[in-house]
């Protein structure tokens, strides 16, 4: 069978689907990835055959950085709090990703018509994949990458995609869609029907540094804000964390990517290590706790690693994820200004949190893996 993975630009769209893509390959099926932007090189480095469907496209036009970092942080927070109330992706995001999908449509459709896949797996906001699946008459599998079910997402997205359907001369209808959720029911929010699949946390490959190959001398805490928060709002929200680090007997690994602007944080304490791009899922195997922004991928990877989490929500679905962290007793949910040394020490040493993380890790491990889901997905192909 031929399986096309149609992925929107962005690591948080690509990496969650990598485990399933490899499961199809190891089961003997042919896999290709149709994507663009940063996901193109990342998919190739992950070992997949990749088609860049919109070379040179300006995706940043849909996500302009207007105003100061403080103003952008406030806007991000307002949208995130609103999303926590509705438990669904805001309309503005559907509108933006219809634009992204428009730039990807021609290349995705042309490649699919040439390669003739039997099945299309797509990242949730890739509207070009829905048009392509309908044009080819093949089933589509929506690969979730959040703790929201959003069973009506394809129907809500459809009106925004009408110009794409018209341009491709395809009936304005959804293909057959099956939803995959990346976490068990106890961790999911919202309504929807789909299949649960055990996630395989993956954050790209890379050469591990010497310090990760040596025994730890004291507890290690990962500190990260993902990729979107530093780009949109900067890293100023970590001031309280780093101020508290001075009074905590632990090593803090500041994992903010390759080019973070750290000037706003001033002089860093001696127990803070700044690192470039490091595979998070591997880094977590060496950590005793993590402080992060509440991103879905980071939250899930930390849960799989059995590492207690302190979530400091910034935007998007962060508040939904942070609430889930506390509900499942795998960590804490606080605003940045509430972080102090006592809170971080409790994150490291609270036996209740440690027990909760071990319990959830076992629950996650018991879910059907990508290898089991592949057999069910192949049955969708008529």
Residue 290: count other Cβ atoms within 10 Å of its Cβ: 27
102-132 in b/e form (b: 16+ CB < 10 A) is bbbbebbbebbeeeebbbbbbbbbbbbbbbb
- Bridge partners of 311, per DSSP, are 292, 333
Other CB atoms within 10 Å distance of the CB of residue 61: 11
> What are the per-10-residue average pLDDT scores of the chain (382 residues)?
97 95 97 97 96 96 90 93 94 96 98 98 97 98 95 96 98 97 94 94 89 94 93 92 96 88 90 92 96 96 98 96 97 96 97 96 96 96 90
pLDDT at position 259: 75
Report, in angstroms and rounded to the nearest whole number, the Rg of the chain calculated over CA atoms. Answer: 21
Plot region of 242 (φ>0 → left; ψ -120 to 50 → alpha; else → beta): alpha
pLDDT at 262: 87
- The pTM for the full model equals 0.95
CB 299 within 8 A of CB 326: no
Residue 150 zone, left/alpha/beta (φ > 0; ψ -120 to 50; rest): left
How far is residue 130's CA from residue 122's CA, in Å, rounded to a whole number?
8
Angle CA 353–359–363, to nearest 5: 140
Count how many residues are written for the chain. Answer: 382
Question: Hey, what domains does the chain have and what are their CATH numbers?
Answer: 2-198+367-378 (3.40.50.2000), 210-365 (3.40.50.2000)
Describe the crossing of helices 127-136 and 91-115 by its angle, rounded to 10 degrees.
Answer: 40
Asked if 50 and 40 touch (Cβ cutoff 8 Å), the reply is yes
Residue 176's pLDDT is what?
97
Distance of CA 305 to the CA centre of its chain: 16
**Rounded distance, CA 162 to CA 269, Å?**
53
Nearest by Cα to 5 from 37, 49, 46: 49
Contact 368, 198 (CB under 8 A): yes
Tell the residue number behind the tokens 């069978």, with chain if given.
1
**Token pair for residue 323?**
């609430």
Please state, in angstroms and as integers, the Cα–Cα distance from residue 190 to each residue in 18, 122, 153, 215, following that order: 25, 20, 11, 42
| 203, 281 contact by CB (below 8 A) | yes
């Amino acid at each position: 069978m031929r399986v096309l993975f149609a992925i929107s630009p962005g690591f948080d769209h690509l990496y969650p689907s990598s485990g399933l893509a490899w499961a199809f390959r190891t089961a003997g099926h042919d896999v290709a990835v149709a994507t663009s932007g940063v996901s193109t090189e990342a998919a190739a480095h992950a070992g997949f055959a990749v088609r860049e469907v919109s070379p040179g496209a300006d995706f940043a036009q849909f996500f302009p950085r207007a105003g100061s970092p403080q103003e952008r942080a406030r806007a991000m927070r307002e949208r995130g709090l609103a999303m926590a109330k509705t438990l669904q992706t805001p309309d503005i995001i559907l509108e933006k990703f219809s634009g992204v999908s428009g730039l990807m449509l021609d290349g995705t459709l042309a490649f699919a018509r040439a390669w003739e896949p039997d099945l299309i797996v797509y990242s949730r906001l890739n509207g070009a994949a829905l048009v392509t699946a309908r044009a080819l008459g093949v089933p589509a599998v929506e690969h979730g990458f959040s703790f929201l079910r959003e069973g009506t997402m394809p129907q809500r997205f459809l009106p925004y995609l009408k110009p794409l359907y018209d341009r491709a001369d395809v009936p304005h209808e959804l293909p057959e869609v099956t939803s995959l959720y990346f976490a068990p029911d106890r961790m999911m929010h919202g309504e929807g029907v789909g299949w649960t699949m055990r996630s395989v946390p993956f954050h790209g490959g890379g050469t591990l540094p010497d310090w990760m190959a040596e025994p730890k001398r004291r507890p290690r805490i990962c500190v990260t804000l993902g990729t979107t928060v530093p780009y949109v709002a900067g890293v100023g929200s970590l001031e309280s964390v780093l101020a508290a680090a001075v009074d905590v007997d632990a090593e803090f690994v500041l994992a903010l990517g390759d080019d973070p602007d750290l000037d706003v944080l001033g002089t860093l304490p001696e127990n803070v290590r700044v690192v470039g791009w490091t595979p998070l899922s591997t880094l977590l195997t060496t950590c005793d706790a993590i402080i992060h922004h509440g991103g879905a991928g980071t939250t899930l990877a930390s849960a799989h690693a059995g590492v207690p989490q302190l979530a400091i929500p910034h935007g998007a679905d962060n508040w939904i994820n942070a609430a889930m962290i506390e509900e499942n007793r795998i960590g804490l949910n606080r605003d940045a200004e509430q972080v102090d040394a006592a809170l971080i020490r409790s994150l490291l040493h609270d036996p209740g949190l440690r027990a909760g993380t071990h319990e959830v890790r076992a629950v996650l491990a018991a879910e059907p893996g990508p290898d089991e889901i592949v057999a069910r997905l192949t049955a969708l192909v008529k």
